[in-house]
Every structure is written in structure tokens, then in C-alpha cells.
């Protein structure tokens, strides 16, 4: 397996999936902005429907930014978020389709969404979430640990960060270098519980 260039070797599978863990406690080690650019330059290649790329990412590194976020957090997520070197708001642009003529020039698809708000909203949420998952795995790929969270008040985040724009929050991901000693991981469903063969 480790010599097949068309597959990930065991070490890479461990890094991304099998040994990776969600982190809540962080080393006092900064994440340079260049690492965030490297992260985006990797995750951006993940596929989206008609290459619509609706996700938007706000990387909060300053105390001012964290204080703006703090009132929206669930109590259990305050300490981990305030101590993380970076907190990313995974958001999406409700008007993502304005960019489709450039992102997907091979067909006129912007009209699918401009006249159908429910389809636009579902497409932005689904594909923005896919890109949020690419962010989590790409963070691990560039050496960062991730702590994704949905325990916060989306409306308050939108008011604090996105007032007057078409961006809306989806979930949060703390980023940094986790401390050792995370508790045992939770179980997963077996193949026969989660999958069907037809």
C-alpha cells in the first residue's frame, strides 16, 4: 500500500483521519498568516457543484476579533475559542452565483439560482459545508490541528461580522497546535449500520 502512488500511505491516512483528533486545548504557538494562505490554497481545490465555491472564511487572530465573537459562543466553547491562535468562521456567500460566469464559464448556470432562492440557499449551505470539511482536512494536511464547533449563535455572528453583506455563518473551526492528552475518541458506526450495498 505504501508504495502505490495512487493511494495515501498509512502515515498520511493516520494524519488526516485515523489518528487525527478534534482539539480543545492549544499550545501557546502562533499560526502565521502564510500558513492560512497555504491552507486556503489547498482546500480551494476540493470539488463543488458547478464549481460554485460558495464558502467564505474569516480567520480571526486578534483579541479584538475574538472579543467580537465571544458573545455569540456557547459557554462551553468560550475558553477553547479565546485561547486558540485562530478561529475560522466558515461562512458562505448567499450571492455566490454572481461569480459563476467566471467560475463555470462552460454553461450559463447563474440563472438557476438567481430566480430560485430556496435552491440557492440549499446549494450554498451544502457546498459551503463541503468546503468547510475540506478546510478541516486541509488544516491537518498543513500541520495544524482543528477544533470544529457548531455551538454558537449564528445570527449574532452574522450581525457582528457580516452586517450589510451577503455572507452568512455556517460553523466555526478553531485552528492551532493542540496540546497532547486528548480524551479517548468516541466510537463510530459499523459499516453495516451506516452503509447499504445495492
Residue 149, CA atoms < 13 Å, CB-side half-sphere: 25
Span of 24-32, 54-62, 77-85 interacting with its own copies by CB under 8 A: 54-62
Q: Which is nearer to its own copies, 47 or 111 (CB)?
A: 47
First to last CA, the chain: 28
Cell of 79: 475558553
Give the closest residue to 124 by CA, choosing from 171, 54, 56, 172.
54
Phi, psi dihedral angles at 35 (to 5 degrees): -70, -35
Interface with its own copies includes 24 (CB under 8 A)? Answer: no
- For residues 192, 193, 197 and 198, what is the CA-based torsion angle, rounded to 10 degrees? 140
Which listed residue (146, 157, 174, 178) binds its own copies by CB under 8 A? 146
118 binds its own copies (CB under 8 A): no
Q: Using CB under 8 A, which of the segments 24-32, 77-85, 188-196 binds its own copies?
A: 188-196
> b/e map of 155-186 (b: 16 or more CB within 10 Å)?
eebbebbbeeeebbbbbbbbbbbbeeeeeeee
Can you say whether the dihedral through the CA atoms of 177, 131, 34, 153 is positive or negative?
A: negative
Determine if 10 is a binding residue for its own copies (CB under 8 A). no
Is 115 or 187 the residue whose CB approaches its own copies more closely? 187
> C-beta of 92: minimal distance to its own copies in Å?
10
- Choosing from 129, 153, 158, 166, the residue that interacts with its own copies (CB under 8 A) is 129
The one among 2, 75, 102, 181 contacting its own copies by CB under 8 A: 102
Out of 25, 82, 114, 130, the residue judged to bind its own copies by CB under 8 A? 130
Asked if 70 is part of the footprint of its own copies (rule: CB under 8 A), the reply reads no
Using CB under 8 A as the binding criterion, the count of chain residues that bind its own copies stands at: 79
Chosen residue from 2, 3, 45, 75 binding its own copies by CB under 8 A: 45
Amino acid at each position: 500500500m505504501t508504495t502505490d502512488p495512487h493511494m495515501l500511505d498509512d502515515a498520511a491516512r493516520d494524519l488526516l483521519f485515523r489518528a487525527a483528533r478534534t482539539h480543545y486545548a492549544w499550545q501557546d504557538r502562533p499560526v502565521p498568516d502564510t500558513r492560512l494562505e497555504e491552507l486556503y490554497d489547498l482546500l480551494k481545490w476540493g470539488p463543488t457543484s458547478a464549481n460554485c465555491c460558495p464558502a467564505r472564511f474569516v480567520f480571526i487572530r486578534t483579541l479584538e476579533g475574538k472579543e467580537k465573537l465571544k458573545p455569540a459562543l456557547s459557554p462551553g466553547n468560550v475558553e477553547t475559542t479565546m485561547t486558540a491562535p485562530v478561529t475560522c468562521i466558515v461562512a458562505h456567500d448567499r450571492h455566490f452565483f454572481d461569480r459563476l460566469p467566471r467560475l463555470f464559464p462552460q454553461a450559463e448556470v447563474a440563472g438557476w439560482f438567481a430566480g430560485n432562492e430556496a435552491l440557492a440557499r440549499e446549494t450554498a449551505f451544502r457546498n459551503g459545508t463541503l468546503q468547510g470539511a475540506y478546510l478541516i482536512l486541509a488544516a491537518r494536511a498543513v500541520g495544524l490541528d482543528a477544533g470544529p464547533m457548531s455551538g454558537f449563535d449564528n445570527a449574532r455572528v452574522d450581525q457582528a461580522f457580516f452586517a450589510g453583506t451577503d455572507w452568512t455563518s455556517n460553523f466555526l473551526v478553531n485552528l492551532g497546535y493542540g496540546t497532547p492528552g486528548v480524551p479517548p475518541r468516541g466510537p463510530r458506526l459499523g459499516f453495516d449500520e451506516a452503509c447499504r450495498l445495492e
